[in-house]
Each structure stands twice: as C-alpha cells, then as structure tokens.
Amino acid sequence: MPDDEQHLALLVVGGGPAGMSAARTAADAGMRVLLVDERPSLGGQIYKQPGPGTSIPDPAAADRSTRYGRSLIAAAEASGVRIALRTAVVAVEPEDDGFAVVLVEDGQHARTVRVPRLVLAPGAHDRPVAFPGWTLPGVVTAGGMQSMAKSQFVLPGRRMVFAGSGPVALAFPSQLAHYGAHIVAALEAGPAPRPGDVLRVGAAAWGNGVLLRDAARYRAGLLRHRVPVRYGRIVVRAEGAGRVEQVVHAAVDRDWRVLPGTEETVAADVLCVGYGFVPSLELLRLAGCETTFDEDLGGRVVRKDEWGRTSVPGVYAAGDGTGVEGSYVAIDEGVLAALGAAQDSQVLDRATADDQAREARRRLVRRRRLTRATHRLFRVGPGVYDLADDQTVVCRCENVRQREVVEAAAATDDVSVVKALTRAGMGPCQGRNCARHVAAVISRTSGRELSSVDFATPRMPVRPVPIAAMADAAVVDPGLFVAPDPQGER
C-alpha cells in the first residue's frame, strides 16, 4: 500500500459534486482523506471534463456549468486531499475496526485499503427505458451524449430527437443546440406548465435564483435555435435498417401510458433518451446499507440521517447516489456527510459541526421547496416501463427479450430467481440497464407494488475488471470463493 494510503481517517468514493464537497470539508476539519473515482478526471457526470489530451483554449468561452465545475475541482485539488483517479472500488468488506476496500487502478492488480469510515457518493446513471428499437445504433442516453459532447466534442448525427422528462429535458436539448446539434424535436413526457405551476415555482424562488435563471436561459436557447418542444409525449419505438432512421412517438396520459391513435413519426438519425436518473446503489448495497423507495428520487434509495449516516456504522452517503436531487443538493449533502464523519471521529464536536452545517441546511430546505413545487411537472409515470413488446431486448448484455422475462416472472416473483432463469442482470453492467425493467415486469405480473420488489443480491466485483486484477493475495475474500472447513480454518 502506498505510504499516503496508510492511516487514513476517511475514504470518499466518487469524484462528483458530493464526493468533492465531502472530501474537501473533511480535509478542512483535519481528517486524512483519500478521494477515489473511476473516471480520468474529477467532476462526475454533471461536471464532466474534456478527455485526456483535450483542453479548452479559452476557459471563459465555456458555459457556466463547465466553469463552475472547474472551480469545484480546483478547490478539491487545493484542499490537501489525496486523489486517486482511474480507480474503481470493486468490493467493501466490514472489519472489526472499519472496512477493507478493494481498489483497482486502471486494470492493475487490486490493492486493499483499510479505513475506519467511508463516504459513498457514487452518483447516478440514466434511467434505462426499454422500447422497441432502443438497442439500435443511434439511440444514445443523455449521459452518453453528454460524454461525447463535453468530453470528446463529438455530435453523432445530423438530425436528433430528444425524448425524456424532468429538468434535463429542458436543459440538455438547449445545451446540445448550443454545441451545434440540429434537434428536430424535444419530447417531454410530463405535462406542460400551467399557471398554478408557475405560481408555485414563484413562491419557491427565494434562494433558487441561479436554478431559475438557468431554466429561463435554457428555454430561451430552445426558442433561439427553433427547437420544437412537445409536452405529454413519449417515444414508443425507434425504427431503421441497421441504425436509427425514424422515431415514433405518441401522446400519454398523466401516468405516461400511451394513448391509442396518437402516434407520429419523425425522421432522425439520432435519438437521445433522458428520462431522469437512478442512484448507483451497488456499493451501498454491498456494504449492507438499508434502502427505501421513492420513484421520483430514482426508485430505490438509501436510508440516511441528517448527517448522511446510513444504517451501517461508519458508512455515510451523499449526493445523487442516495436519491437524485441535482448537483446543488449533492454539494450540501457532501458537506453534511463529512461533518457527520468528523463528529464520529471526534475531530469536531456537535456544536462546531452544527455551526458549519447551518448554511448547507438552509440551502437544502430551499432546494427541496422548489422540488415540491415542480412535482406535478416532473413526477415519473409508471407507464415508462410498459413500452417494450415481446421481442424487445430488455437485457442488452445477455440478449434477453421481454417475453423470456415475462415467462419467468409468471413462475416466481423473486428477482434473483428470474435472474437465474433468464440470465438478465448477469452481464458486465450487472443489471444497471435491466434491473429496473425486470422489477417492473415482476411487479406487473405478480400484482406487487414496485416498491416491494428489490434488486438481485449484490456481488463483488461491482465493476468489470480484468480477472488478473483480482487474482491477487491483496484482495479481501469475504468467503465467496473458499468455503471455511468445519474446524474454522481455510
């Protein structure tokens, strides 16, 4: 283990807004901190930076989001935090005095870091939505498109359709148009704003001026680039011979269920899909943290207290990985999680922590007031999981079709059994693309509430890594590979 990874007080996993904020706050409190992220640069999904070897000659010409992200990164880098990039956390194993965390850096041999406390800020990923044609070349998630546009300065087509919901459905098409994309339609599954919505948002405006100005700027950008916005419409299929050639969309009711006879077709060579995000819970579940369910926060979310403490002592959680609420909330949750860890480490007393947390708490109250004001517009409709037909591939890794999952769900309502019968969720993404859809099928077939259908049992490694990286004595074995003998020896 490198010398600077010994005697750590805190390991922060995730280099997005929450992780950077937590690491910096903990370091300021006097803790020895290691921040790890699997990307080649800090910033996370929202503040993704240009790829290696690429630079922005004139930073002042970048958009406000990029500049703000750079300021957060600079603050984290200047804080004295030890930063390990291109480093994936593939396992977390509780020990008597903390945790053994297995790290794999850029495909090299794994190493185990032992720490008394963890802040897990894994962020979120695009909500997968399965519909006929979603596996065609040219269908791209909002996160994938953001990577191409922000990190590689690439636009993958000439005629784009954006389909999604939530704040991203306003912001991202505007950003793409700013980058030079020709967007022929922006389809928002949620309803159009009403006067009552405007009044509620206005009542929640105090303290949210930056967000509302951003929203107004994005809307103005759509108007300036003549991007038509259609409310209450959802993609029902993508069509084409070998790649996307046209997109079929239809009107939906308040639950996002398709209204018959409302289909329209538009020619396009790219379909960008952005129906919100879901928390990346793999590490939190592997650590044994309890979860609850809130579809509007991304579905299954981790339980935590006011200081980010989870149900597992020594594990703290922050940011969109605990429930998707946006980057500003993530930053303040990172502050609170770090202050919680500092208290439990007896680096700070409660009174000092409360004083340092006061402004973050005030901002969170104001942000969440705005979220409640926009609930009617941005709530997720259950019909988003009803779009696949029998032949739709729902597990891309293992090429499992909807019909197979429905047949398995008719025999059992156990996710792990459906996984064993169909192999859905056994591929490299470990269910990130299909777990929500499989759970929805089980819910619909069994009559159970979606909130009662859990994901399959988490396993290490939570990220694909070369087998050679794990074939190392430094890897903690939690008993998955070698059975203990009756005498208690291995």
What are 82's two structure tokens?
């030890």
State which amino acid sits at residue 113: V
Nearest to 305 by CA among 274, 275, 271, 341: 341
Asked whether the whole model's pTM tops 0.75, one would answer yes
Mean pLDDT of 256-265: 96
The predicted structure's pLDDT at residue 490: 46
CA distances, 109 to each of 112, 466, 468 (Å):
10, 9, 7
The predicted structure's pLDDT at residue 54: 61
How far is the C-alpha of 45 from the C-alpha of 172, rounded, in Å?
A: 13
**Which tens digits make up the pLDDT trace of 345-355?**
999 999 999 99
Under DSSP, is residue 191 helix (H, G, I), strand (E, B) or coil?
A: coil
Instruction: Work out the pLDDT band at 90, boundaries 50, 70, 90.
Output: confident
206 class by beta-carbon count within 10 Å (0-12 exposed, 13-18 middle, 19+ buried):
exposed
Q: Which own/partner pairs from 408-413 qualify as long-range (CB within 8 Å, at least 24 positions apart)? A: 409/438, 409/441, 409/442, 409/445, 409/446, 410/445, 413/442, 413/445, 413/446, 413/448, 413/453
Please give the backbone phi and psi of residue 286, each rounded to the nearest 5 degrees, phi first. -65, -35
Mean pLDDT of 107-136: 91
The predicted structure's pLDDT at residue 238: 96
476 pLDDT above the threshold of 80: no
Please give the backbone phi and psi of residue 17, each rounded to the nearest 5 degrees, phi first. -60, -45
Nearest to 424 by CA among 410, 445, 439: 439
The predicted structure's pLDDT at residue 222: 87
166 class by beta-carbon count within 10 Å (0-12 exposed, 13-18 middle, 19+ buried):
buried
Nearest to 82 by CA among 176, 2, 199, 188: 2
The sheet carrying 315-317 orders its strands as 82-84, 33-36, 10-13, 118-120, 315-317
How far is the C-alpha of 53 from the C-alpha of 50, rounded, in Å?
A: 8
Question: How would DSSP label each residue in 285-347?
Answer: HHTT--EEEEGGGTEEEE---TT-B-SSTTEEE-SGGGS---HHHHHHHHHHHHHHHHHHTTS
How far is the C-alpha of 298 from the C-alpha of 292, rounded, in Å?
A: 11
The predicted structure's pLDDT at residue 470: 73
* Element holding 419 (H helix, E strand): helix 415-422
**Which tens digits make up the pLDDT trace of 441-470?**
999 998 888 888 888 777 778 777 777 777
Domains, the chain, ordered by start: 10-124+278-375 (3.50.50.60), 130-274 (3.50.50.60), 388-452 (1.10.10.1100)
